[in-house]
Chain A
Amino acid sequence: MLQVKELSFLDWGPLSFSVDCGECLGISGESGSGKSLLLRAIADLDVHGGTVLLDGENCNDHPGATWRGRVAMLASESRWWFDSVRPHFPEGVDESVFGKLGFPGVEVMDWEVPRLSAGEKQRLALARLLALSPRALLLDEPTANLDARSAGLVEEVVAIYREKRKVPVLWVGHNEEQLERVANGLLRMQDKQLAKA
């Protein structure tokens, strides 16, 4: 279970909520409302007040890097720093994920980064994140650059991972129709507070 208690950052909050294992909580709100900042604070990328617990373990009891390896955030825009796709992935990655995300197969690992489209990058970023076997997912608009078909594939891959590994998922988006489809609950960020949508 991911528990967020009295979380505050900049002049947002305090915000409290929790996501059970295997559940998905959707968070909507206008752009600039602070949805991404919320995810960044939970991933401990920004200075924040309050506590975040994963399965009862306090964020501050682990080094920042260890925490972020477990509570993994998918940024709305993915970044790639090597020339090809492969070195971004850890060894021994489950190769079936590429097919599930609509790629021809594992040969995508040899593709060159500058030739990837925005949508391909976004789907590969999800594969790269899941390859780390995180215990919680923080997804920031994970289908923003995708057509309906690819978006559906991403939704499915996230749902399978969530149910199989029983991980809590926070899904930030602005398409409420999609959020209602993928999430068990929905909160809206407004006036620097979270409210039931």
Chain B
Amino acid sequence: MTTMELESWELALAGVLVVGLAACTLSAKLGVTRSLLIAAVRMVVQLSLIGLVLKKLFEADNPWGVGVIALVMLLVAGREVSARQKYRLRGMWGYGIGTGAMFVSSFAVSIFGLAAIVRADPWWDPRYAIPVLGMLLGNTMTGVALSIDRLTASVWQSRETVEARLMLGETGSEAVSDLARDALRSGLIPVINSMAVAGVVSLPGMMTGQILAGNPPGEAVRYQILIWLLIAAGCGFGMLIAVRMTAGRLFDERDRLRLDRFRR
């Protein structure tokens, strides 16, 4: 069984739907028409380009090529995490913490999944490596960004309480322990909820893609289970690191609360 080929004019037919939506948002003065159209065009261009890149990558069969693409994906994800913060760390720290957390949550977990579980030959085979890394980055990015944002925003809001606890001789990490716990919980709950309804309410994108591509559902399910487990682990470990490092930057070596290190 092969996939039904999609012609460009057929895709354009789906595009008409979005153009119709844009016309509606314009007449309703929602103020999102421009960004809707730009996002749609960006999506088409970016995906077409990555299609070309992946085609080349699969043909080249070169580990360095895979490494460079993976690195670019990681850096963009790290930037995205720091861009989603309301209160951002000054200097390279904001970017560094986001990227470091994405490295652990996606990069390291992907390598583990590819080398120890999927065991393609070679293990970095781009047909496996790039989609797995992409799935992990896309899903863990939200969780990591959310947990850091939640921590900094709540500390900012209850800075007086945090300092009151410092005045009673608590260390910085003791003084924010409740807030850090809340931040981790708020980052993990979406992952837990999505796993809980996977297959019942939602058919995950990767599985849908495989089924559409003609793979037997049983096979698609096994890969989807693997991906979900990797995402859950990656999200959790990435958030632990991100929250701990951010909490560390909230205080200096004298355990003073240093909100001046953050900017709105």
User: Which residues on A are within 8 Å of B, measured CB to CB?
Assistant: 43-47, 60, 63-66, 68-70, 72-75, 77-81, 128-129, 132
Among candidates A44, A70, A79, A132, residue contacting B256 with C-beta atoms closer than 8 Å: A44
Q: Can you list 30 contacts pairing A with B, beta carbon distance less than 8 Å?
A: A44-B256, A45-B163, A45-B166, A45-B167, A46-B256, A47-B252, A47-B256, A64-B166, A64-B255, A65-B169, A65-B171, A65-B172, A69-B168, A69-B169, A70-B169, A72-B168, A72-B169, A73-B167, A75-B160, A75-B167, A77-B160, A79-B163, A79-B164, A80-B161, A81-B161, A81-B178, A128-B168, A129-B167, A132-B168, A132-B169
Give the complex CA separation of A132 and B178 in angstroms. 21
The 6 closest A-B pairs by CB, nearest first: A69-B169, A64-B255, A79-B164, A64-B254, A79-B161, A65-B171
**Complex contact A65–B255 (CB within 8 A):** yes
Give the complex CA separation of A184 and B118 in angstroms. 77
B219 close to chain A: CB less than 8 A: no
**Complex contact B160–A68 (CB within 8 A):** no
Specify the chain B residue showing the minimal Cβ separation from A59: B254
Give the complex CA separation of A43 and B166 in angstroms. 10
**Complex contact B256–A75 (CB within 8 A):** no
Q: List the B side residues contacting A46 at CB < 8 Å.
A: 256
B165 close to chain A: CB less than 8 A: yes
Q: List the B side residues contacting A75 at CB < 8 Å.
A: 160, 163-164, 167
Q: List the B side residues contacting A80 at CB < 8 Å.
A: 161
User: Which residues on B are within 8 Å of A, measured CB to CB?
Assistant: 158, 160-161, 163-172, 174, 178, 252-257
**Complex contact B169–A68 (CB within 8 A):** yes
Q: List the B side residues contacting A129 at CB < 8 Å.
A: 167-168
Give the complex CA separation of A68 and B164 in angstroms. 11
Give the complex CA separation of A88 and B6 in angstroms. 65
Give the complex CA separation of A80 and B166 in angstroms. 13
Give the Cβ gap from A82 to chain B, nearest Cβ, in Å: 9
Q: List the A side residues contacting B174 at CB < 8 Å.
A: 65
Q: List the B side residues contacting A69 at CB < 8 Å.
A: 168-169
Q: List the B side residues contacting A65 at CB < 8 Å.
A: 166, 169-172, 174, 255
Give the complex CA separation of A60 and B256 in angstroms. 13
Give the complex CA separation of A45 and B169 in angstroms. 11
In the complex, number of A-B residue pairs with CB atoms less than 8 Å apart: 64
Give the Cβ gap from B157 to chain A, nearest Cβ, in Å: 12
Give the complex CA separation of A74 and B158 in angstroms. 17
Give the complex CA separation of A132 and B167 in angstroms. 11
Give the complex CA separation of A43 and B171 in angstroms. 13
Give the complex CA separation of A63 and B165 in angstroms. 15
**Complex contact B164–A63 (CB within 8 A):** no
Q: List the A side residues contacting B256 at CB < 8 Å.
A: 44-47, 64
Q: List the A side residues contacting B252 at CB < 8 Å.
A: 47
**Complex contact A63–B255 (CB within 8 A):** yes
Q: List the B side residues contacting A74 at CB < 8 Å.
A: 167
Give the complex CA separation of A128 and B169 in angstroms. 12
Give the Cβ gap from B90 to chain A, nearest Cβ, in Å: 15
Specify the chain A residue showing the minimal Cβ separation from B165: A81
Known contacts A44-B256, A60-B254, A65-B166; 6 additional CB pairs below 8 A are A44-B254, A64-B166, A65-B171, A75-B167, A81-B158, A81-B161
Give the complex CA separation of A73 and B160 in angstroms. 13
Give the complex CA separation of A79 and B159 in angstroms. 10
Give the complex CA separation of A44 and B256 in angstroms. 7
Q: List the A side residues contacting B167 at CB < 8 Å.
A: 43, 45, 68, 72-75, 129
Give the Cβ gap from A93 to chain B, nearest Cβ, in Å: 13
Give the Cβ gap from B151 to chain A, nearest Cβ, in Å: 16
Give the Cβ gap from A62 to chain B, nearest Cβ, in Å: 10
Q: List the A side residues contacting B163 at CB < 8 Å.
A: 45, 75, 79
Q: List the B side residues contacting A60 at CB < 8 Å.
A: 254
**Complex contact A79–B255 (CB within 8 A):** no
Q: List the A side residues contacting B164 at CB < 8 Å.
A: 75, 78-79, 81
Specify the chain B residue showing the minimal Cβ separation from A65: B171
Give the Cβ gap from A29 to chain B, nearest Cβ, in Å: 21
Q: List the A side residues contacting B160 at CB < 8 Å.
A: 75, 77, 79
Most buried by A among B169, B252, B253: B169
Q: List the A side residues contacting B168 at CB < 8 Å.
A: 68-69, 72, 128-129, 132
